[in-house]
Structure 1
Amino acid sequence: MIEVRPFDSLGSANHGWLDAHHHFSFASYHDPARVHWGALRVWNDDTIAAGTGFPTHPHSDMEIITYVRKGAITHRDSMGNEGRTEAGDVQVMSAGSGVQHSEYNLEDEDTKIFQIWIIPDERGGQPTWGAREFPKGDRSGKFVPLAAGGQQAANDDGALPIRTDASVLGASLKAGESVTYRPRDASRHLYLVTATGKVRVEDEEANARDGVAITQRESVTITALEDAELVLVDAA
Structure 2
Amino acid sequence: MIEIRPFDGLGKANLGWLDTSFHFSFSGYHDPDRMNWGRLRVWNDDWIAPKSGFPEHPHRDMEIITYVRKGTISHRDSLGNSGATEAGDVQVMSAGTGIAHAEFNLEDEPTELFQIWIMPDRTGLPPSWGNRAFPKGGRSRQWVTLASGDAEGSGENDPLRINADARILAATLNVGETLAMPLDPARYYYLVPIDGSIDVNGKAAHSRDGIAIRRESALQITAADTVELLMVETA
Same fold (TM over 0.5): yes
CA distance in 1, matches of 2:233, 2:220: 14
What corresponds to 1:222 in structure 2? Answer: 221
Instruction: Provide the identity percentage.
Output: 57
Q: Is 2:34 the partner of 1:58? A: no
CA distance in 1, matches of 2:78, 2:128: 10
What corresponds to 1:210 in structure 2? Answer: 209
Structure 1 residue runs without a partner (length 5+): none
CA distance in 2, matches of 1:146, 1:105: 22
AA in 1 matched with 2:192: V
Deviation at 1:9, TM superposition (A): 0.6
What corresponds to 1:32 in structure 2? Answer: 32
Q: Is 2:185 the partner of 1:161? A: no
CA distance in 2, matches of 1:149, 1:181: 20
CA distance in 1, matches of 2:124, 2:37: 22
SS in 1 for 2:207: coil
Structure 2 residue runs without a partner (length 5+): none
Deviation at 1:125, TM superposition (A): 1.1
Q: Is 2:215 the partner of 1:196? A: no
AA in 2 matched with 1:66: T
CA distance in 2, matches of 1:178, 1:71: 28
CA distance in 2, matches of 1:125, 1:233: 22
AA in 2 matched with 1:198: S
SS in 2 for 1:121: coil
What corresponds to 1:105 in structure 2? Answer: 105
AA in 2 matched with 1:135: P
CA distance in 2, matches of 1:68, 1:181: 25
Deviations 1:75-103 (A, max 9, x none): 00001100000000000000000000000
Give the paired residue count.
232
Deviation at 1:182, TM superposition (A): 2.2
What corresponds to 1:93 in structure 2? Answer: 93
Aligned positions of 1:104-123 closer than 5 A: 104-123=104-123
SS in 2 for 1:167: strand
What corresponds to 1:233 in structure 2? Answer: 232
What corresponds to 1:140 in structure 2? Answer: 140
TM-score, normalised via structure 1 length = 0.96
Deviation at 1:219, TM superposition (A): 1.3
What corresponds to 1:175 in structure 2? Answer: 175
AA in 2 matched with 1:148: S
